[in-house]
Chain A
Amino acid sequence: MTLTQAEKAAVVTIWAKMATQADAIGAESLERLFSSYPQTKTYFPHFDLSQGSGQLRGHGSKVMNAIGEAVKHIDDIRGALAKLSELHAYILRVDPVNFKLLSHCILCSVAARYPSDFTPEVHAAWDKFLSSVSSVLTEKYR
């Protein structure tokens, strides 16, 4: 799945708006993930996952920073996230099914914050983009 020029443009445009609230969006997305899919909490036994927790916010930032890197290097997501891909494959080993769940929650957070911008075309572009990011992060699993 490669992104068209129009799709890349849609991703970059929305990211520009998101960037200023990236930390909050990251934390909110994780909150959504843990509420809707409690099984995902099994990857964070060492975390305080209560609303507003510093660890939650910190981790949300990490996730959004990585997405920002992918946006910045949207023509070479694989290169931009190479180290992160290895981290997920050899250390974290998060089951691939969970990337879809987090992507869905990120889309919910974005839709809730930018409803008029989140047209069907923009939605499709972001879904595809997050799907690409997820693919890169799981491609070294085996």
Chain B
Amino acid sequence: DEEAMAVAFGSINVFVSACVPPSLTRLLIVYPWTQRFFDNFGNLSSPTAIIGNPKVRAHGKKVLTSFGEAVKNLENLKATYSKLSELHCEKLHVDPENFRLLGDILIIVLAAHFTKDFTPTCQATWQKLVGVVAHALAHKYH
């Protein structure tokens, strides 16, 4: 399963970099309450503002890099994400439900990107991937 995931991610790596940052933008638009974590990001008052916001874009890139690390370290994900998990719990105070929301948004963005190639089987693999990533990010919560 992990191999299948690594292959799936690796083979479309180029396209995923096009999908992760827009997913963060979309999260803030579709589930506006998620904006609560980004009070210092400036103007989030409309979809246009969110899409054009440079801090949102920069943060999207951060999340993408981190996601890439996850896929490269699937056998060791809890350890890889240990510090990041502690950060999200102790400093950022992010409810882990938000990781699941972002994962599902990413899946929808991938669906729009790959259209008919994003088959049910393909989706199932990706759901597992975003699931283990969310789980690893929540693992150090206390």
With A36-B123, A120-B51 in contact, do A111 and B26 touch (Cβ < 8 Å)? no
Shortest beta-carbon distance, B78 to chain A, in Å?
23
Q: Complex Cα distance A105/B108, Å?
A: 9
Contact A32 B116 (CB under 8 A): no
Interface size band for B: 20 to 34
List B residues at the A interface (Cβ < 8 Å). 25-26, 29-30, 47, 51, 104, 107-109, 111-116, 118, 120-121, 123-124, 127
Interchain nearest-CB distance for B69 vs A (Å): 24
Shortest distance from the beta carbon of B20 to any chain A beta carbon, whole Å: 15
Contacts of B123 in A (CB 8 A): 32, 35-36, 105, 108
CA separation between A124 and B31, bound complex, in Å? 8
Is B26 touching A120 in the complex (CB atoms < 8 A)? yes
Would you call B29 and A112 a contact (CB within 8 A)? no
Give chain B's interface secondary structure class.
Answer: helix
The 7 residue pairs across chains A and B that have the minimum distance between CB atoms: A115-B112, A35-B124, A35-B120, A111-B112, A111-B111, A120-B29, A36-B127
A sample of 7 cross-chain residue pairs with beta-carbon separation below 8 angstroms, ordered by A number, consists of A34-B120, A36-B124, A108-B118, A111-B112, A112-B118, A115-B112, A115-B113
Which residue of the partner chain B has the closest CB to A123?
Answer: B30
Query: Whose C-beta in chain B lies nearest to the C-beta of A113?
Result: B115
User: A127 in the interface, Cβ–Cβ < 8 Å?
Assistant: yes
A residues 102-137 near B (Cβ < 8 Å) are 104-105, 107-109, 111-113, 115, 118, 120-121, 123-124, 127
Contact check, B115 vs A112: say whether CB atoms are below 8 A apart. yes
Hey, which chain A residues are within 8 Å of B121, CB to CB? 35
- Tell me whether A23 is interfacial, beta carbon within 8 Å: no
Which of A32, A109, A113, A121 is the most central at the interface, judged by chain B CB atoms within 10 Å of its CB? A32
Find A111's partner among B29, B108, B127 (CB 8 Å cutoff): B108
Q: Are A115 and B115 in contact, CB atoms less than 8 angstroms apart?
A: yes
Interface residues of A in 60-118 (CB under 8 A from B): 104-105, 107-109, 111-113, 115, 118
On whether the beta carbons of B25 and A118 are closer than 8 Å, the reply is no
A120 in contact with B30 (CB, 8 Å): yes
Closest residue on chain B to residue A126 by CB atoms? B30
Partner of A112, one of B26, B47, B116: B116
Which residue of chain A lies nearest to B108 when distances are taken between CB atoms in the complex? A111
Q: Which of A28, A31, A123 contacts B108 (CB 8 A)?
A: A123
Question: Which residues of B are found within 8 Å of A104, using beta-carbon distances?
Answer: 104, 107-108
Which chain B residue shows the least CB distance to A30?
B120
